[in-house]
Amino acid sequence: MSDTDSFIDEVTEEVRRDRLFAFMKRWGWVAVLLVLVLVGGAAWREYTSVRDQAAAQALGDEILAALDADEAGARVSALSEISAAGPGAQALIDMLTASEAARAGDADAAEQALEAVASNGDVPEIYREIASYKAFSRSDSGLSAEDRRVGLEALAVPGKPLRLLAEEQLALLEIEQGDTDAANARLQRIIEDSEATAGLRQRASQLIVAMGGKPDAG
């Protein structure tokens, strides 16, 4: 009985080996292909990571070199010569250009640089909102007080990341227009807002005091 069982086991094992060999012969190339894909994918990810890191470092070096110029006009010129690889990097360069152009007294160039970011749907929303905030916050932007107010109110709605900063600028605009009561009420709301930073609360309190008022404790 044991010899029969042993013989059956041997035959069964042989059949299994034959089936496995046939399976590997038919489908083994799939396993090899999967290994090649996995190895190739890992190598490609490593290559792109190193490439992107090198590109980012090179861009940073170019920006730092441009900002190292002595004159604001020269910094604007140097920044304009930098070639950005993507919309995000270009948005950063444009906003730096706007800041340097404003320092150089070129309000038109600053406005154009900020508009290029604010109107570019390919850049992250936060970049567009920062550019819009900077444009609407500048008194020399060439925009009317009403246009600035409308733009800032669009940034001051709940859920917007720059909501409280836009509220602060609206208060400054109201002060410019002589509406101190509205400015005082807006600044008091900023002080009482749980999302306001300590620095923002301090600036709001100082403005209220400068207008002759007294900020509530909140």
Average pLDDT estimate for 153-167: 93
Q: Is the pLDDT confidence value at 58 over 70?
A: yes
Residues of the chain with pLDDT > 90: what percent? 29
Measured CA to CA, the distance from residue 7 to residue 16 in angstroms comes to 14
pLDDT band at 191 (very low <50, low <70, confident <90, very high): very high
**Which amino acid, residue 108?**
D
Which of the pair, 150 or 62, is modelled with greater confidence?
Answer: 150
Domain boundaries, the chain: 57-131, 144-218
Q: Mean pLDDT, to the nearest integer, of 26-53?
A: 70
Ranked by mean pLDDT, which of 16-20, 36-40, 43-47, 101-105 comes out on top? 101-105
